[in-house]
């Protein structure tokens, strides 16, 4: 079975300050992990993915995430927030095997607000 917990439902930062969105996962198999972003009234855009290669993953728009197996975490970071980063972010897990193969399980989402 696979599951995801996003530890913050809302995060508020000032423009130019670092962003940290926290995610813990549970997986019966070696997982693939993703972060997706959803802007208001838009579809989901893939930010980055981890599929068992390097544990530090770089994505689009300056975002990064680090896979930590011992902590079952996959936190999303960005050194300096931009106004355009304001959106809802979803942490997603997919088991690479078993009955959940090919199925994405989403967290509840974290709404990021960026203040000028």
Give the residues lining the site for another protein (CB under 8 A). 32, 34, 36, 42-46, 49, 51, 90, 94, 96, 100-109
70: Cβ–Cβ under 8 A, 6 or more apart, which residues?
none
φ/ψ of 57, rounded to 5, equals: -110, 130
Interior/surface letters 81-104, b for 16+ CB within 10 angstroms, e for the rest: beeebbbbbbbbbbbeeeebeeeb
Nearer to another protein, 73 or 94 (CB): 94
Nearer to another protein, 53 or 116 (CB): 53
Min. distance of Cβ 15 from another protein in angstroms?
26
Nearer to another protein, 5 or 77 (CB): 5
Of residues 85, 83, 61, 80, the one with CA closest to residue 16: 80
Min. distance of Cβ 42 from another protein in angstroms?
7
Min. distance of Cβ 70 from another protein in angstroms?
22
């Amino acid at each position: 079975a696979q599951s995801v917990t996003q530890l913050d439902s809302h995060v508020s930062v000032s423009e130019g300050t670092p962003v940290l969105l926290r995610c813990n996962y549970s997986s019966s198999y070696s997982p693939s992990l993703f972060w997706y972003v959803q802007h208001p009234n838009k579809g989901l855009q893939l930010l980055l993915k981890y599929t068992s290669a390097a544990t530090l993953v770089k994505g689009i728009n300056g975002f990064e995430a680090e896979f930590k197996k011992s902590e079952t975490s996959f936190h999303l970071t960005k050194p300096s927030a931009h106004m355009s980063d304001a959106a809802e972010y979803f942490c997603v897990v997919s088991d690479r095997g078993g009955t959940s193969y090919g199925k994405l399980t989403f967290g509840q989402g974290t709404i990021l607000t960026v203040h000028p």
